[in-house]
């Protein structure tokens, strides 16, 4: 027996190894019920040795869906309702302010009043044309009556002066001058009627506010020759020429067109509006016949009314401005 220290006779594996197997490993604990090892949440691991280690102290969110972190992140893929408010449609931008036609089209014509105001005015009405001519005339009757009287006096004076000499050459020259003056008088009346349709009361000097005298004379000469040939061959072709070229001088005075363009423009609107223009022409011829029956005095009224009414029709059919009465 020894008292402490090292005992050479003692087996070092006593209590841990069986005496029969000096090289065996330490035995597992005896069978029985043991509590399961504690596993920390979040996939932690069990450290070796000691008691099972739990998660570090702190507040953890419960399991489930979490809001995205704060910041500017692109939205997830998918269909989402559009945000509230006035936003431009996809693929475009709101139109800039001002009169800009919508994409892919044009502005529709604005509504017109009973007298053809606005672009693309109403269909020509004979009653509206006559009413317009009368209303505009009576508001400026004195100027129109004086201008008609002046035109008659000038025409008669030219014929009288050139018929005094007994000479065919002078008579022919007088006829030529008389024709040219009649063309200019007609253009002057058209200019005055355009002032009325524009909403202005023409003064005496307003009737001669045109500078394209050459185009006026050339257009009138072409119309005169063509209509004369038509009347000589047959009355109907001559009347057709007069009807189709009626607005040629109006295009020259109002839009400063040359003779050829004015003739084409007149043919364009008259050939496309034969019905209403023919009715208007018959109505104007009728009121001038009534004016002539009254010893010609009625022509001082019916001629200006006819001029303004026909100019009103021109503006309506061409979609140009017509002032309200």
| Whole-angstrom distance, CA of residue 55 vs CA of residue 59 | 11
Q: Which two tokens stand for residue 87?
A: 């936003």
Taken in order 111, 116, 118, 120, is the CA torsion positive or negative?
positive
> CA torsion 287→290→191→143, rounded to 10°?
-130
Q: Which one, of 38, 67, 68, 60, lies nearest residue 50 by Cα? A: 38
| 306 within 8 A of 126, measured Cβ to Cβ | no
| Whole-angstrom distance, CA of residue 193 vs CA of residue 183 | 15
Q: Note the pLDDT of residue 66.
A: 59
Q: Which one, of 218, 278, 212, 217, lies nearest residue 244 by Cα? A: 278
Q: Helices in 198-258 by DSSP H: which ranges?
A: 213-233, 235-244, 248-255
Q: Is the pTM of this model over 0.75?
A: no
Q: Note the pLDDT of residue 50.
A: 47
Taken in order 47, 49, 54, 55, is the CA torsion positive or negative?
negative
In the predicted model, residues of the chain with pLDDT beneath 50 are 1-4, 15-22, 24, 42-47, 49-51, 92-93, 96-122
Q: Note the pLDDT of residue 35.
A: 59
């Amino acid at each position: 027996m020894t008292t402490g220290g090292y005992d050479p006779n003692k087996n070092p594996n006593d209590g841990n190894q069986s005496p029969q197997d000096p090289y065996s490993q330490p035995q597992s604990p005896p069978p029985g019920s043991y509590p399961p090892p504690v596993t920390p949440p979040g996939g932690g691991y069990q450290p070796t040795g000691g008691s099972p280690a739990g998660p570090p102290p702190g507040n953890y969110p419960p399991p489930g869906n979490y809001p995205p972190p704060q910041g500017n992140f692109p939205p997830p893929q998918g269909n989402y309702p559009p945000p509230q408010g006035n936003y431009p449609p996809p693929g475009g931008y709101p139109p800039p302010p001002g009169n800009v036609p919508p994409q892919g089209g044009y502005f529709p014509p604005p509504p017109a009043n009973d007298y053809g105001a606005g672009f693309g005015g109403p269909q020509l009405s004979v009653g509206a044309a006559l009413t317009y001519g009368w209303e505009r005339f009576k508001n400026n009757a004195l100027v129109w009556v004086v201008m008609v009287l002046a035109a008659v006096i000038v025409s008669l004076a030219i014929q009288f002066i050139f018929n005094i000499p007994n000479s065919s050459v002078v008579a022919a020259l007088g006829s030529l001058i008389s024709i040219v003056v009649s063309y200019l008088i007609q253009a002057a009346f058209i200019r005055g009627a355009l002032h009325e349709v524009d909403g202005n009361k023409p003064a005496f000097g307003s009737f001669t506010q045109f500078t394209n005298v050459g185009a006026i004379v050339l257009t009138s000469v072409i119309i005169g020759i063509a209509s004369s040939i038509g009347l000589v061959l047959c009355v109907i072709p001559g009347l057709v020429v007069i009807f189709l070229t009626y607005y040629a001088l109006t295009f020259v005075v109002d839009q400063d067109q040359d003779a050829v363009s004015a003739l084409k423009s007149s043919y364009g609107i008259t050939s496309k509006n034969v019905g209403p223009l023919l009715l208007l022409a018959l109505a104007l011829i009728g009121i001038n016949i009534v004016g002539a029956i009254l010893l010609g005095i009625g022509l001082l009224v019916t001629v200006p009314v006819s001029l303004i009414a026909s100019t009103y029709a021109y503006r309506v059919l061409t979609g140009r401005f017509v002032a309200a009465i």
